Amino acid sequence: MLITEDIKLDYSDVLIRPKRSTMTSRAEIDLNRKYIFRHSKKEWTGVPIMAANMDTVGTFEMHSALSEHSVTTCIAKHLNDSDEWWKIPYLSTGQNLCIMGGSSMKEIDRICNVYNDIKCGFIGLDVANGYTISFVKAVSKLRENCPDATIIAGNVVTADMTQELILAGADIIKVGVGPGSVCTTRIKTGIGYPQLSAVIECADAAHGLDAHIIADGGCTSSGDIVKGFAGGADFVMIGGMLAGHDECDGDLIFEDDNEEPVSMKFYGMASETAMNRHDNHNEYRGAEGKTVEVPYRGSVHNTIKDILSGIRSACTYVGAKKLKTLSKCTTFVRVNNTHNKVYE
């Protein structure tokens, strides 16, 4: 048994200190990033926010809406056999699309079949526990089968496993264990890592190998997304912030005789709801997610515009003309403690 006494921080534990800025308008801020990936050698340009590959959020309707803002959608894996994949023109929106699945050979074959036909922007393997040897082997197998693809793999929260997955063939590592709003892994298992510290440490490890990371989970506001980018994340993945919209695949909740819904169901992918939907029950597996009702919010366009506005505003506060320079302009101040401390 070991106890690490180093301070580890979540997004709620810090704020970003404002600095002198020469900018006069949010319109001056460039939110686009351009990346060249370690293994695929492909170049990608866009706004580096991703909709999570959750049942209710990772829909083709969400992709259609978010692609208008150069934002990427990771499609829920139960849609991997959908005919919708073949209706998407790559040059217009396909680069902002990701197919993800589990680590079984059946899922790897299915991912490769879609990718070989339409060459979507990203493919990936998504499991709750990215620390198993079998998962590392699965990443290697996916790289072997799709040598020119930009591959996402996760989830992990430590530098050592970030590096191992990169060396196994991943271009982008998904970082986060338990921070999501409908994830109960930390409660059920006691396993996890404060998200901001995980992002900082995993980003440092990935960037040293010319690779990238996604900060996955824990964002409840545009300010949290800003903190993820400021901590070194190349992409930020969100789920709950996009729930409750017309583009989601969630059950609508109505009250009395109102024609307008008041809320929508949103659930974690390890929840009882998800296991029932996908017939994923067995005697040794319990739920590590929950089902909640979120307010109905209409079209996702207004929400994503509000998110992007918040990020632009943050950049003006610290003097970052481009999202690329935000982390270099950031000074974090600890707030959830007796003695505030500054981290640059």
* Residues acting as catalytic residues: 183, 185
Residue whose entry in the numeric block shows the structure tokens 């709620």: 12
* Residue pair 287/278 in contact by the 8 Å Cβ criterion: no
Task: Return d(Cα 101, Cα 7) in angstroms, integer.
Answer: 34
- Pairing relationship of beta strands 49-51 and 235-238 according to DSSP bridges: parallel
Amino acid at 64: S
User: How far apart (Å, rounded) are the C-alpha atoms in residues 215 and 156?
Assistant: 10
- 28 φ/ψ sector (left φ>0, alpha ψ -120 to 50, else beta): alpha
Strands 212-216 and 252-253: unpaired
SS3 58: coil
Say which amino acid occupies 50. Answer: M
- Sequence-distant (≥ 6) Cβ neighbours of residue 154 within 8 angstroms: 124, 125, 126, 127, 130, 165, 173, 174, 175, 176, 214, 216
Contact of 150 with 122, CB cutoff 8 Å? yes
Cα(245)–Cα(185) distance, rounded to whole angstroms? 26
Q: Which amino acid, residue 32? A: N
Q: What gap in Å lies between CA 189 and CA 23, rounded to an integer?
A: 47
Nearest Cα to Cα of residue 214 among 43, 31, 51, 14: 51
